């Protein structure tokens, strides 16, 4: 397939692009930066632009068999600070993409939503795809709105969307350190001999998935004939306090921990039920949290060594 990956130079996107190329697909990556922030295979075409460029969207989509939409201009914390920007950049931008797909006849779309925010405070755990949607932050509200529009375009223009509600991905090349991604942030602070911060008392529980496990699910889902919504997590919850301890174990450092006041956007627990993905795709996560954190730390140390060598 010829696949357009929106956000292909990003954290999840770069891993997904590598998987697609390895599977024999022809890939074009779209990103907001003039050059991709993360390395991409040499045979991948990279285009700098944004979802709000309707002409660009139409041109790129017209030359594609499928689209993978992973781009987001916000994260939960920044979305709440400027909900108007959240809607404009993410929701309106996605509508431009959907219009372009309807106009050109490209009907296959993979969308990465947020299993960590769309459900809100869970009524029960692990959370299935049938759980009511009750997001408590702008980021989650916009994700739900996009999912709803996917259903609309499926009815009105024949779109065949498949949505992966990702839990909390982590792994090599994660960005937004300090803004999103606790594991990457903690490891980076350990690398720089800085204390790590915990919002609240550390009892908040999340479902963390190693990014190659997530992108393997994404590619399998896109290549299938399935439509609908699937959770992309591990089904196992880990407290933030436990994450801090695993980071100390992986780095071999006794890192000071600073406790900050809890945040309203943080639900107390979010663990996803992945039975549907396992049943329909034969997929299961293969990397344990302890192993994934160790692999991420090793990659971060390697990158730091290369950077230090280049600077000297």
pLDDT tens by residue, 146-193:
999 999 999 999 999 999 999 999 999 886 555 568 999 999 999 999
Pairing of strands 66-69, 108-114: parallel
Domains of the chain: 2-311 (3.40.50.720)
Residue 239 · residue 201 · CB < 8 Å: no
Cis peptide before 126 (omega within 30 of 0): yes
Q: Would you state the pLDDT for residue 39?
A: 81
pLDDT tens by residue, 153-163:
999 999 999 99
Out of 114-128, 177-191, 255-269, least confident range = 177-191
Q: Would you state the pLDDT for residue 239?
A: 97
Q: Would you state the pLDDT for residue 266?
A: 86
Residues 6+ apart with CB under 8 A from 96: 51, 52, 53, 54, 57
* Beta sheet of 269-270, edge-to-edge order: 238-239, 205-206, 269-270
Residue 269 · residue 237 · CB < 8 Å: yes
pLDDT tens by residue, 15-71:
999 999 999 999 999 998 887 777 899 999 999 999 999 999 999 999 999 999 999
């Amino acid at each position: 397939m010829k696949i357009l990956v929106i956000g292909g130079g990003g954290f999840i996107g770069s891993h997904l692009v590598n998987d697609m190329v390895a599977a024999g697909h022809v890939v074009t990556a779209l990103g907001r930066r003039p050059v991709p922030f993360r390395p991409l295979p040499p045979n991948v075409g990279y285009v700098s632009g944004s979802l709000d460029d309707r002409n660009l969207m139409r041109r790129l989509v017209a030359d594609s068999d499928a689209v993978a939409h992973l781009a987001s201009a916000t994260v939960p914390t920044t979305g709440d600070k400027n909900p108007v920007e959240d809607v404009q950049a993410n929701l309106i931008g996605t509508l431009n993409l959907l219009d372009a797909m309807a106009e050109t006849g490209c009907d296959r779309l993979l969308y990465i939503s947020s299993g960590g925010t769309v459900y809100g405070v869970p009524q029960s755990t692990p959370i299935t795809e049938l759980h009511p949607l009750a997001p408590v932050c702008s980021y989650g509200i916009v994700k739900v709105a996009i999912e709803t529009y996917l259903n609309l375009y499926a009815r009105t223009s024949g779109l065949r969307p498949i949505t992966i509600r990702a839990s909390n991905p982590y792994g090599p090349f994660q960005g937004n350190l300090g803004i999103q991604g606790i594991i990457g942030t903690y490891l980076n602070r350990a690398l720089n001999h800085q204390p790590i911060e915990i919002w609240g008392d550390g009892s908040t529980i999340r479902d963390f998935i190693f990014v190659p496990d997530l992108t393997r699910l994404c590619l399998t889902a896109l290549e299938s004939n399935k439509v609908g919504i699937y959770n992309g997590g591990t089904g196992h919850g880990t407290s933030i306090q436990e994450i801090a301890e695993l980071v100390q174990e992986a780095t071999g450092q006794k890192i000071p921990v600073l406790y900050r006041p809890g945040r309203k956007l943080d639900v107390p627990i979010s663990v996803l039920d992945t039975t549907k993905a396992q049943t329909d795709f034969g997929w299961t996560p293969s990397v344990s949290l302890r192993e994934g954190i160790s692999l991420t730390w090793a990659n971060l140390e390697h990158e730091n060594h290369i950077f230090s060598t280049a600077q000297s």
